[in-house]
Each structure stands twice: as C-alpha cells, then as structure tokens.
Amino acid sequence: MSLAAPRSRIGWLAAPAVAWLGLVYAVPLAFLLARSVTGPDGFTLKLFATFFADPYSWRVIGNTLRIAVMVTLVSLAIGYPVAIAMARAKGIAQVILLVAIILPLSIGVVVKAFAWQIVLRRDGVISKLLVATGIWDEPQRLLFTEAGLVLGAANVFLPFMILPIYSVVKLVDPRLSEAGATLGASPFYRFRRILLPLTLPGIVSGIAFVFSMAVSMFVVPSLLIGDRFQMLATLTGRAFLLMRDEALGSTTAVVLLVIAVSIVLASTWLARRIGRAA
C-alpha cells in the first residue's frame, strides 16, 4: 500500500506531457478522421470507396510503399556496418563517428534536399564519379528520378537507422565472437549465428523509424522528384494547399496514418517476440 501510493503520484508527472500531446496531436487527428468519414448526409465511407476505386490512388500507394521500402533497404545496407564500426571503435575515433552521424540532424531537411539537388545534377559529383569509373559513358541526370529520390531520402534518414542498431551492438559482448573464433567458426558463421540474432531488436527499431518517416516524407520528394511523381504525403499536401480539396486530403492523410501506425505496431510486436525468444 505504501509503495502503490507513491507510484500513483509519480504517474501524475506525465499528465502535462499527455495533455500537451493530446491537444497538439490527438485533437487535430480526430478532426481529420471525422472529416474523412463525414458527408452531406452525415457519416459515410463514400470518400474512401471513391479513393480506392480510382486506379491512380493505387498507383500513388504503390509509389509510396516502393520508395519507402527501397529507402529502408538502402539505409539498412549502409547503416548496419557503420553502426558496428561505431560500436567497435575506441577513443577519438568513436567520438568522430558519433559526431559525423549526429551533427547532420541539426541541419534542416530543406537544406539537405537542396544540397542533393546539386549532387544529383548532370554535372554533379555522382554523375562525374560514375563517368570516371567507366560505369556511365556520359554524364546523366539523377535529379527528378526515383534513384535520386531514394539516395537523397536515405541520406536524410540514415542516422535513424544507425543509432538504434548502434545502441544494441554496443551492448553485445565482443568476447562472444572471439569465443566462436577459438572454436573454429568462420567470420560469416559468427555473424549469422551470434551478431545478427543479438542485433535484431536494433534492426527492427531502425527499420520502423526509417520506413515510417520515408512513407510520410513530403519535402524530400517535392524537391528531388517533383509533382509528376506523387506519393501519399505529397498528394495530401497538394489536396490541401493547391486543390483546396479537404475531402481528398483528409482521406489520403488517414490512409497514410493507417500505414504508418501499422508499421509501428508491427515492429513493436516483432521486437517483443524477439526479446522473448532471446
């Protein structure tokens, strides 16, 4: 009884934050959801039926999921070895790597996107590098292409893949791999049976972070690929800002919200299962 009372009082410390989040996020989302299911005659699902009956809507959803998956895979392929290198580095080398990963977070997404516009141009660094290595015969433009969008978005979201994996790898005892080596296990076998299973919670968290942000990004696709390639977030912004179509905007926003929340819930469930199995 004496322990329960202090705990209940401590719980009230979260009340201001909960109230603020409810006011700033929950209330607007409630209005958005209500607008998507409200018609002239009251409650209706006609807006969703119309949206999903349009082949263009499915193409937009496909664009959104395809780009989000590619951005997540590129971020994972680059971020996983970087996270291991950061966790295994010592002294000043680890500090430099951490600063190199965290410092870009202080730069706005708009600045990063404009910087990638310069990089992805026909006379940009990537084009010149690919020509110099013989991969391309002549300079080509990556700007306003899906490949350019994936590269730019992966650069923006990469820290959110690296940091969760790094936090888990840091807890893995390096002597486990050394013990496997003394028993004759190959480096690939030690990675597959020791390091990879132990770092799965970090991988799941990183994938959830990056995918949920990539699926809802607005600024990056607007600047790197333009309006001709529509994703759910850009279609939502266009509906509200340009077309002044609140019905379409609220419908696409709810669809986008359902996708993002589903990814977060699925990753949470998977992380718990991995934790119990470990």
Rounded CA gap, 261 and 66, in Å? 17
- Residues 109 and 78: their CA atoms lie apart, in Å, by 20
Q: Does residue 41 carry a pLDDT above 90?
A: no
Confidence band (pLDDT; 50, 70, 90) for 5?
low
pLDDT at 276: 67
Torsion from C-alpha of 147, 71, 105, 109, nearest 10 degrees: 50
pLDDT of 221: 94
Note the pLDDT tens digit of each residue in 138-184.
888 888 899 999 999 999 999 999 999 999 999 888 888 878 888 88
* CATH architecture of residue range(s) 48-277: Orthogonal Bundle (1.10)
Whether the predicted pLDDT of 105 surpasses 70: yes
Whole-structure pTM value? 0.88
Q: What's the CA gap between 73 and 67, in Å, rounded?
A: 10
Question: SS3 for 123?
Answer: coil
Distances (CA, A) of 80 to 6, 27, 37, 206, 274: 42, 38, 42, 10, 18
Rounded to 5°, angle at Cα 206 from 192 and 87: 60
Query: Residues in the chain, how many?
Result: 278
Domain ranges, ordered by start, for the chain: 1-36, 48-277
pLDDT score, position 277: 63
Mean pLDDT score across all residues of the chain: 88
